[in-house]
Amino acid sequence: MIYTLRHRTTYRYARPVRFARCSLRLKPQDGEGQTVLASAVTIEPSPANAVTRRDYFGIEALGIRLDTPHAEFVVEANSRVAVDRPAPPEPEAGPTWNAVRDAVLASRDLSGAAPVHFLFPSARVPLVPEVTDYARASFRAGRSAYGAAHDLMRRIRADFRFDSSATAVDTPLAEAFRLRAGVCQDFAHVMIAGLRGMGLPAAYVSGYLRTTPPPGRPRLQGADASHAWVAVWCGSGWLGLDPTNDCAVGNDHIVVARGRDYGDVAPIDGIVTASGRQRLRVEVDVIPEDEAVPELALAI
Amino acid sequence: MTALAEVKEKAGGTVPLARWTEGYAPLPGRPDAYLAPDGTPRDSAGGAWSRLLDHLGRLGEPEMMARFVSAERHIRDAGISFRVYGDQREHAWPLSSLPLVIGAAEWRDLSAGLVQRAELMEAILADIYGPGDLVAGGYLPAAVVAGSPEFLRPLHGVAPPGGRYLKLYAADIGRGPDGRWRVLADRTQAPSGLGWALENRMVLARAFPDIFEACHVERFPAFFQAFRDGLAAGAERADPRICLLTSGPYSSTYVEQAALARYLGLMLVEGDDLVMQDGRLHVRTVSGLKRCDALWRRIDADYLDPLELNPASRLGVPGILEALRNGSLVMANMPGSGLCESGALEPYLDGIARRMLGEPLTLAGPPTWWCGDPDGLAHVRDNLDALTLRPAATPQRGAGRDALLGPQTLAADRDRAVAALRERPFDYVGQALGPLSTMPGWERTDAGLRLVPRPFVLRVFAARTPSGWQVMPGGFCRVAERDDVDPTEMRLGIRAADVWVLSETPVETQTPIQGRTPRVRRLAGHLPSRAADGLFWFGRYTERAEAVIRLVLAHLRSVGDAVVTDIAGGAHAPTAARIRRLIAEWGAGSAPNLPTAALAQQALSGRTAPGSARAHIESARRNAAKLRNRLSGEAWRVLADLVDLLSLDPGRAFTESQLSGRAERALSHLAALSGLAHENMSRAAGWHFIDLGRRIERAINTCDFALALADDEATPESLGVMLALCDSQLSYGSRYMQGVALDPVRDMVLLDPYNPRSVAFQAEAIARHLADLPPLAADGVPEPHCRLAARIVAEFRSGEAADFDAVGMARVESELERLADAIAGRYFPAGPQAARPEKLGGLG
């Protein structure tokens, strides 16, 4: 499947900002079942300086500096990505969770691709004893790592309520867990905390999800959203699980970046020198190429 | 009993040594610094303790105590203090009168072990952040590294500018069960304690100069010089600017940081003082941005860069890691060095030493098992009751700290520990921590003092200097006042002790001047904006306090001489009422119509009155506290006395004469304070800012006085008070024969450029200060704040008394307020009003 992606973020400031320094992580991942056919980022106002760097985990970030006063900051990322992933395995397949953990501990790999980095708490995913207790029910002795993770995903989907008003981007995961509510970011963080609490490496994945417009209605521009889910280390590779939708990751998911938690993969983060309020607006389009484009034009 | 005990004391009694040491015995199972287990003085200490106790014994107990009492007074007066973490109060530094002494031979071995361990830590860091051979080769498990929150991935592959990760290595040590020195914890992040060691030394060497000399105690200056050279090593410029990045005035070790900055001649800065520009680190100074070449950070690395590390940090500098990547900044220690504080490294150190240094580890830590290793886990499970279980990755602290399970814990803790080992055993280490070793400490008995063993922890330091590692001959020792207290962290019940390394031969007192002679300079360098801000407000607050006190004296009718005592009638008499109103308007009194003494007491020392003299002095002291490295000990002492003077018991009603007595004494203290600034401070930028603050405040206050007492409805009586408030009665009397009149008084207090209390005099002084301060640009165009000052000066030079009616005075006063704002905007742009770095909001 080939997708055309547009991700436009607009910051409006109450008072002009003199200076900003940001990292943009908007280019989809190349590899592991994805091929980036084209990718470009436009920035307004144009930055004084822009440097592309890969971090320890291989995530590509565009570091920019703005030093002209501006009241509005717009970043638009456009890309075309081909996605062709193998079908997810059967839920109970693969090595047991204890075996996976022991192998990670014995590993001599400390490279950015190594699962060992994803075994420990991170800034936004502390270990929360209540979450570990919740996860434990999925970890029967002798069960496969993937099976346990799959079961945990299913339970989170069943026990938690999707509610975008329940949490904000900086709500601690313990609070989202207590509420049993939140958005994709909260579901992913809770699931990661549960998996790590039981000793399995788990990662946070940012990206997009293909959505289907209601039958007979055109796709509305900018109505899609960025998405987040979980990757779990299953002994020989990462497998994606989406607790918001209770499904394994296949060709409907487009990966942008995989990190320890939201902080590692945030599409835009940075520091501005400001004294007023800021307003944020995000528009995302995920358009599968088999969909008729003229309909989109009609919808504008 | 030793032969020494028979020597007669000067006073005629026996030397108290026998009584001091009688019954002294090591605690069971705990090694002691003074006596070996068999009760004889330790050979390894080279008789060091006997030498010290012998000298103290000759001094005699009363003399020893007297000297120590005066040392404690010095500590209080000099404001040497510490803060317990999470506590706002400062506590006077508790120094033990007995140093820890170590003999020369033993010290040589210890130093060699310490240098080896420091070199090993350096090698480990260079490998982990570089090629990664230790993990790949199986010498160190990947999970030990990955599990440390101090493994800072953004620093991977960044070569440390200057080539070294560690510039300062410290270790907490004690004697192990076999009596040999053993490391309790490694300090590689941002070791504290050097400044305390220095303070301890200054106080104790001053109290016992003769014994210090006779014992051949090794001195510190050469070490500190070498440490400073090490901080500068690798900087791009030959004469680098070195800054000490403090964790701020509320940190538990701020006083120490300020002392070190002063001693080493470093610029003390907070994160707000620093800014990245063009890929380089700069300090905001009153002369604009100036490059910072080397930084000694005293904040944890995680807080260093909100852009690349902890985004919630408000202590750091956004983007500072860039300066490390491009090599333009040398940092001590490199961020990420805290990794070596991880307890889980210990089991692997010997193997790594053999592999990387080609020799076994000589100075070991406690026997440790990492539970991520199957054999380690099995050992810990089998020996749970004999071990301390603690987090593997969080930096180690003292014995027992953060431990899940220690040797003396409850069954519930044991269950918790067993559970913790089930799913994530790799988060823990088991350690065989013996009880802490002991050293002699004083205990008071009815018969006098005697020595008893007390647990201690010794922190020792090694500095990476251009000529290799150099160990500080001494250290920072903490002794518990009871034998069941853990002395690792400074808090109540713990005393600090100086550490004396005794040389076999007399020690050179004069440190030879080594290396190149520094370029002669007369200015201390650029003043950081934040320090200028603090000095400016220090000047304003002390001046405001003075004005309040003068006003109170006028209110009590005891300012100056005859003129004021003539004020007619009681509280409602016109002039008295004007003074009372002004006191209330200034926030010094809650209501203008209080009884005379009560109002005066409130204005002097009211706790709730925001404008009381005491409130202003405390504000001045708060500003001074942030400027510890710039104010002399004397100034600090005068401030402490002022606070004491102005702290009147609110439950007690003081009489008018008692109050005016206090007020007069406070005035002379304030005069002493300004005298200190005038006579002792170098005429560098710092002095200009104190005096600027004082002049601006005095000009504004005098306008306020004049608006209240020399307004268009002024009476001879109110004009008399006006003159008295401005200390101008004598001059007035000698110039004018026929009593007070409006225009001559206004001329004298507002316009007269020869009267040091007139507004015109202040304006001229302000303009001179501004002209002396460094300009931002060399284009010769006066900056806006200088033009504003020039305008005010011109107004006074060209005006006459008649121009300064109430409207004219109010206009000048508001111009002065604007000038104060303009000065703040120009020199303290990072002040509280400035735009702050904000995090960009995100989304899910």
Q: Give the three-state DSSP class for B279.
A: coil
- Please give the interface size between A and B, counted as residue pairs whose CB atoms are below 8 Å apart: 118
- With beta carbons less than 8 A apart as the criterion, state whether B330 and B293 touch: yes
Question: Does pLDDT of B3 surpass 50?
Answer: no
Q: Sign of the C-alpha dihedral, residues B779, B783, B787, B789?
A: negative
Q: Which of residues 155-174 of B touch A (CB under 8 A)?
A: 156
What are the C-alpha distances in Å from B759 to residues B509, B585, B725, B726? 53, 21, 13, 10
Q: Check if B422 contacts A (Cβ < 8 Å).
A: no
Q: How confident is the model at residue B403 (pLDDT cuts 50, 70, 90)?
A: low
Q: How confident is the model at residue A298 (pLDDT cuts 50, 70, 90)?
A: very low
In one-letter notation, the amino acid at residue B134 is L
Take residue B479 and report the two structure tokens written for it. 């002794």
Strands B100-103 and B499-502: parallel
Question: Does pLDDT of B512 surpass 50?
Answer: no
Q: Which of residues 76-115 of A touch B (CB under 8 A)?
A: 102, 104-112, 114
Predicted pLDDT at B29: 86
Is residue B633 in a domain? yes
Question: Does pLDDT of B155 surpass 90?
Answer: yes
Predicted pLDDT at B678: 80
Q: What is the mean pLDDT of residues B398-421?
A: 62
Q: Is B837 within 8 Å of A282 when comparing Cβ atoms?
A: no
Q: Check if B610 contacts A (Cβ < 8 Å).
A: no
Q: Is A11 within 8 Å of B153 when comparing Cβ atoms?
A: no
How many H-runs (helices) and E-runs (strands) does chain B carry? 28, 22
Other residues' Cβ atoms within 10 Å of the Cβ of residue B69: 12
Q: How confident is the model at residue B274 (pLDDT cuts 50, 70, 90)?
A: very high
Alpha helices in B129-173 (DSSP H): 133-136, 142-146
Question: Does pLDDT of B100 surpass 90?
Answer: yes
Question: Does pLDDT of B110 surpass 90?
Answer: yes
Q: Is B319 within 8 Å of A280 when comparing Cβ atoms?
A: no
Q: Please state at what angle helix B716-725 crosses helix B574-585, rounded to 10 degrees.
A: 40
Q: Check if B142 contacts A (Cβ < 8 Å).
A: yes
- Which member of A104, A268, A271 has the closest CB to residue B837? A271
Show residues of chain A in contact with B128, CB under 8 Å: 110
Predicted pLDDT at B81: 73
Q: Residue B443's beta-bridge partner residues? A: B450
Is residue B308 in a domain? no
Q: How confident is the model at residue B399 (pLDDT cuts 50, 70, 90)?
A: very low
d(CA B418, CA B521) in angstroms, rounded, equals 64
CA distance A125 to chain B (A): 13
d(CA B329, CA B238) in angstroms, rounded, equals 13
- Chain A: residue whose CA lies nearest to B319: A21
B694 & B812 share domain: yes
- Which member of B153, B426, B840 has the closest CB to residue A56? B153
Question: Does pLDDT of B448 surpass 90?
Answer: no
Cα end-to-end distance, chain B, whole Å: 78
Domain boundary among B399, B431, B463: B431
B420 & B547 share domain: no
Q: How confident is the model at residue B515 (pLDDT cuts 50, 70, 90)?
A: very low
Does the model's ipTM exceed the 0.90 cut? yes
In one-letter notation, the amino acid at residue A240 is G
- Chain A: residue whose CA lies nearest to B422: A198
Is residue B101 in a domain? no
Question: Does pLDDT of A286 surpass 60?
Answer: yes
d(CA A130, CA B115) in angstroms, rounded, equals 45
DSSP letter assigned to residue B750: I
Question: Does pLDDT of B7 surpass 50?
Answer: no
Predicted pLDDT at B230: 95
- Which member of B146, B374, B423 has the closest CB to residue A120? B146
Take residue B758 and report the two structure tokens written for it. 């007139």
d(CA B842, CA A83) in angstroms, rounded, equals 27
**Chain A interface disruption, residue of B148, B423, B833, B836, most A CBs within 10 A:** B423
Q: Is B146 within 8 Å of A56 when comparing Cβ atoms?
A: no
Q: Residue A286's beta-bridge partner residues? A: A5
Q: Residue B315 region, left (φ>0) first, then alpha (ψ -120 to 50), else beta?
A: alpha
d(CA B673, CA B642) in angstroms, rounded, equals 10
User: What is the per-residue pLDDT across B343-384, written as a single tens digit (0 to 9) for each?
Assistant: 999 999 999 999 999 999 999 999 999 999 999 999 999 998
Q: What is the mean pLDDT of residues B74-79?
A: 75
In one-letter notation, the amino acid at residue A126 is P
Write down the mean pLDDT value for chain B.
86
User: What is the per-residue pLDDT across A69-93, written as a single tens digit (0 to 9) for each?
Assistant: 899 999 999 999 999 999 999 988 8
Q: Is B423 within 8 Å of A107 when comparing Cβ atoms?
A: no
Q: Is B146 within 8 Å of A275 when comparing Cβ atoms?
A: no
Is residue B422 in a domain? yes
Sequence length of chain A is 300
B734 & B600 share domain: yes
Q: How many structural domains does chain B have?
A: 2
Is residue B765 in a domain? yes
User: What is the per-residue pLDDT across B793-809, written as a single tens digit (0 to 9) for each?
Assistant: 999 999 988 888 889 89
Q: Is B318 within 8 Å of A21 when comparing Cβ atoms?
A: yes
Residue (of B455, B487, B479) closest to B98 by Cα position: B479
Q: How confident is the model at residue B572 (pLDDT cuts 50, 70, 90)?
A: low
CA distance A294 to chain B (A): 30
CATH topology of domain A2-84+267-299: Immunoglobulin-like (2.60.40)
pTM: 0.85
Q: Give the three-state DSSP class for A122.
A: strand
Take residue B314 and report the two structure tokens written for it. 């408000």
Q: Is A105 within 8 Å of B836 when comparing Cβ atoms?
A: no
d(CA B217, CA B786) in angstroms, rounded, equals 55
Alpha helices in B471-559 (DSSP H): 529-555
Q: Check if A266 contacts B (Cβ < 8 Å).
A: yes
Is residue B591 in a domain? yes
DSSP letter assigned to residue B751: I
- Chain B: residue whose CA lies nearest to A104: B143
Q: Is B153 within 8 Å of A55 when comparing Cβ atoms?
A: yes
Question: How much of chain B is in helix, strand and coil states, percent to nearest 5?
Answer: 45, 15, 40
Strands A60-66 and A49-54: antiparallel
d(CA B275, CA B319) in angstroms, rounded, equals 9
Q: How confident is the model at residue B42 (pLDDT cuts 50, 70, 90)?
A: confident
Q: How confident is the model at residue B12 (pLDDT cuts 50, 70, 90)?
A: very low
CATH topology of domain A97-265: C8orf32 fold (3.10.620)
For residue B735, the enclosing domain spans: 529-827
User: How does A147-180 read in b/e, with b if 16+ C-beta sit within 10 Å?
Assistant: bbbbbbbbbbbeebeeeeebbbeebebbebbeee
Q: Is A270 within 8 Å of B307 when comparing Cβ atoms?
A: yes
Is residue B240 in a domain? no
Alpha helices in B147-295 (DSSP H): 194-207, 209-214, 221-232, 254-264
In one-letter notation, the amino acid at residue B705 is F
Q: Check if A265 contacts B (Cβ < 8 Å).
A: no
Cis check for the bond before B333: say yes or no (omega within 30 of 0). Answer: yes
Q: What is the mean pLDDT of residues A186-210?
A: 97
Residue (of B22, B20, B19, B39) closest to B31 by Cα position: B39
Count CA atoms closer than 13 A to B45's CA, side-chain side: 22
d(CA A270, CA A23) in angstroms, rounded, equals 6
Domain boundaries, chain A: 2-84+267-299, 97-265
Question: Does pLDDT of B277 surpass 90?
Answer: no
Is residue B654 in a domain? yes
d(CA B656, CA B312) in angstroms, rounded, equals 54
The 8 Å CB, 24+ separation contacts for B128-135 are B128/A110, B128/B339, B129/B155, B129/B156, B129/B157, B129/B158, B129/B165, B129/B334, B129/B336, B130/B157, B130/B159, B132/A110, B132/A111, B134/B352, B134/B355, B134/B356, B135/A108, B135/A109, B135/A110
- With beta carbons less than 8 A apart as the criterion, state whether B490 and B82 touch: yes
CA distance A185 to chain B (A): 6
C-alpha B95, offset from chain centre:
17
